Amino acid sequence: AIGKVKIVQIAGIVARRIVPYIRKGESITKGERIGIIRFGSRVDLYLPASKTNIYVKENNLVKAGEDRIAEISS
């Protein structure tokens, strides 16, 4: 286990469409889909800085299942 991470899904002004598949406090596994955000919504991801190698930059557009965001060492 890598410890806790924080994922914040933020609805966009226009569509306000977020569909979470998990609840607060649930454990997830590598590659698991945790929800859908649509139409200008966003996700903020908070990872442990000392253990994380980040592959994207702020404001990059990433696609689920295709883009690698970061790697966390154990």
- The beta-strand segments (E) located in 1-74 are 6-10, 17-20, 35-38, 42-46, 52-54, 70-72
Does the annotation count 27 as an active-site position?
Answer: no
Q: How many residues does the chain have?
A: 74
Which of 27, 41, 73, 74 is catalytic? The answer is 41
Catalytic residues: 41
